[in-house]
Amino acid sequence: MFISESTEERITMHKALKQNNSIFSRYYLNEDFNEIKFDFELVDDIIVGENFRVAVRITNKGHKDYTVKVILRVDTVDYTGKNGSLVTKIEQEKVVLHDPGSNVEFVQTALTYFDYGNDVKSQNVFNISCLASVVDTDYEYFGQDDFRVRKPDIVFEMLDKPAISREVRATIKFRNPLPLSLKDGKFFIAGSSLPKTLEFKVGKVSAKKTISVPFKFTPQFTGKQVISAKFTSKQLQDVDGYLQFMV
């Protein structure tokens, strides 16, 4: 929505919007209605496999009760940034009282991995949208936000102090965050201190279990160096991590 540059332009636009009964017109024409406030409540930093809650908080700031109709939906977001498939959708009607202490209502949904798991293999991004209307007014609200479910990290541990031309012992570990087993698990480790990419087949990784793999490397030059690792399986791909160190 753009802001008009003068009162005259604003009045002209207002008249035009009144003649256009589109949903966007109604949003604009009711921008001064402030007795009902809508706010998203999202939990940040969710790791794939965990449950998460999506909620819209509805606050009555007016002096009378209002009835509100809400549609709350969660959609996947594809690599282009556009909405993909529908994950869940709920429709509810709430009476929001005006009395202090009782003037807040929630429309919410909770998702488990089994609700969204098939949709997190690539982008891990969801679009949360809310369309609401206040009964007996012409006010409508639309809001949306993106929500990311992140992959876990691979953690490195060095058992020896790195020195040029000396073998260094290290381990990588990773916790399966999913409520199901991972099959055909593999680690790949690469870096300038390794003559080639190392591959470790770990097979099945049980639900919520941590697996660690030892490896060795020999630094060949001084300065800052990086070793990276990636884990992949049939159920969970592109889990990665890296280690920076000085020689």
Query: How long is the chain?
Result: 247
Q: What is the pLDDT averaged over residues 103-109?
A: 94
One domain, residues 184 and 143? no
Read off the pLDDT of residues 52-99 as tens digits, 9 standing for 90 and up.
999 999 999 999 999 999 999 999 887 777 777 889 999 999 999 998
Phi, psi of 177 (to 5 degrees): -85, -5
The answer to whether residue 6 scores a pLDDT higher than 70 is: no
Q: Would you state the pLDDT for residue 101? A: 86
Give yes or no for residue 130 having a pLDDT over 80.
Answer: yes
196 and 129 housed in the same domain: no
C-alpha–C-alpha distance, residues 3 and 8, integer Å = 12
Rounded-to-integer distance, Cα 131 and Cα 84, Å: 18
Last residue of a domain, one of 96, 117, 148: 148
Categorize the per-residue pLDDT at 8 as very low, low, confident or very high, splitting at 50, 70 and 90. low
3-state SS, 210-238, equals: EEEEEEEECCCCCCEEEEEEEEECCCCCC
211 and 164 inside one domain: yes
Residues 49 and 121 in one domain: yes
Examine residue 2 and state whether it is found in any structural domain, yes or no: no
Residues 38 and 135 grouped into a single domain: yes
Are residues 164 and 116 both part of a single domain?
Answer: no
pLDDT class of 162 with cuts at 50, 70, 90? very high
pTM over 0.85: no
Structurally, the chain folds into a number of domains equal to 2
Task: Provide the residue range defining the domain that includes 57.
Answer: 33-148
Q: Which among 115, 148, 181 is the end of a domain?
A: 148
Q: Which of 148, 181, 208 is the last residue of a domain?
A: 148
Give me the CATH number covering residue 231: 2.60.40.10
| Same domain membership, residue 141 and residue 44 | yes
User: Phi/psi of residue 135, each to 5°?
Assistant: -60, 140
> Which one is predicted more confidently, 33 or 140?
140
- Is the predicted pLDDT of residue 36 greater than 50, yes or no? yes
Quick count: other Cβ atoms within 10 Å of Cβ 96?
A: 21
pLDDT tens figures, 181-207: 999 999 999 998 899 999 999 999 999
In terms of domains, do 131 and 90 share one? yes
What's the distance, CA 20 to chain centroid?
36
Mean pLDDT of 128-148: 89
Contact 126, 76 (CB under 8 A): yes
